[in-house]
Structure 1
Amino acid sequence: MKRYRIDSRSVLFFSLLILTAGCGGSINADYSKLDLVDVSGTVTLDGQPLSGATVAFEAGDGTFSSGVTNESGDFKLMFNSEQSGCLTGDKTVRIQFKGDSENPDEESEEEGGTSTQPQSIIPEQYNKKSTLKASVDSSHTTFEFDLKSKP
């Protein structure tokens, strides 16, 4: 059996090589080949602006663009953390709060016993089991969603 000796300088060299390879800063992607369009809109709940909700436009293959509503209920979709936009095509729209539980009826343990997490004010027909649809193309880039808390 042949033995290889690894000295500390080799370990240091390869460690630095790995660290510097991952420190590029920004994504160096060519987005021009994608069919991205800027998408924006407004979300209201029972006629009032919905602030702090995540809006995701999801394609059938699971890819999505998302954005967060501001205090006026306005959102702008981002393709990733550096590029705005959304791929064109038919989308399922999901609107939820970041803190929404996957299982809102599930009990969680806290000090002194158990408590039930509060249900989301956004009905699941707009998020987990969304019935909201959007068709995105260069002439359809602005959307308004007026959600109802009681179906």
Structure 2
Amino acid sequence: MKLFMIVFHRSLSLCVFSCLLLSAGCGGSIDADYSKLDLVDVSGTVTLDGQPLSGATVAFEAPDRTFSSGVTDAGGNFTLMFNTEKSGCLTGQKTVRIKFVTDSEAPEGETEIEGAEKSPAASGQKISEQYNTKSTLTATVDADHTSFNFDLKSKP
């Protein structure tokens, strides 16, 4: 019985210590230091055949496949976000991809594009693959080049 109590006490102590250790990492905010990154605020406008394109995702993708993205508003305007907390884009040469996020591509439980009034993708409007999966659009982002306008054509 004495052996059981010693094993039980050590197991209980180990369990309590493990719970305290695990809970120490929960509930806190992440204080990321973005100052060491070469982020610049990037914005612009997307039009399709001269008309503002709303509800499109605009992604500036680096050769290493990292990217910043934003969603166009009713006026076709976008601002890039580095992540969900920080705006901006890393500097350098980017491939620009513009597409609609369809219901099948949206995260589970999310079918509407945040910030967009109504997605043109729902009405069957498409953007040519030359602007997304096989994009020919490029941009060089640096401190002097932070605003980009794209006039897409529905019939390339």
**Alignment TM-score, normalising by the size of structure 1:** 0.77
Q: Which amino acid aligns with 1:59?
A: A
Taking the TM superposition and a 5 Å limit, the aligned residue runs for 1:1-151 are 7=11, 10-11=14-15, 13-15=17-19, 17-25=21-29, 27-99=30-102, 121-151=126-156
CA–CA distance in structure 2, aligned partners of residues 147 and 30 of structure 1: 36
Q: CA deviation digits over 1:73-116, x for unaligned, max 9?
A: 100001111111111110000011111768xxxxxxxxxxxxxx
Cα drift, residue 11 of structure 1: 3.4
Higher helix share: 2
CA–CA distance in structure 1, aligned partners of residues 79 and 73 of structure 2: 10
CA–CA distance in structure 1, aligned partners of residues 20 and 81 of structure 2: 33
CA–CA distance in structure 2, aligned partners of residues 4 and 128 of structure 1: 59
Structure-2 change in CA distance of 1:124 and 1:6 (3 Å):
farther
Q: Percent identity?
A: 66
Which of structures 1 and 2 has the bigger CA Rg?
2
The number of residues matched between the two structures is 134
Runs of 4 or more consecutive aligned structure 1 residues displaced over 6 Å after TM superposition: 3-6
Instruction: Check the 8 A contact 1:100/1:120 in 2, yes or no.
Output: no
Unmatched tracts of structure 1, length 5 or more: 103-116
- Root-mean-square deviation over aligned CA pairs: 2.5
**Alignment TM-score, normalising by the size of structure 2:** 0.75
Q: CA deviation digits over 1:20-76, x for unaligned, max 9?
A: 413223x31111111111000001111111111111000001111111111111000
Provide the residue aligned with 2:117 in structure 1. Answer: none
SS at 2:21's partner residue?
Answer: helix
CA–CA distance in structure 2, aligned partners of residues 11 and 150 of structure 1: 65
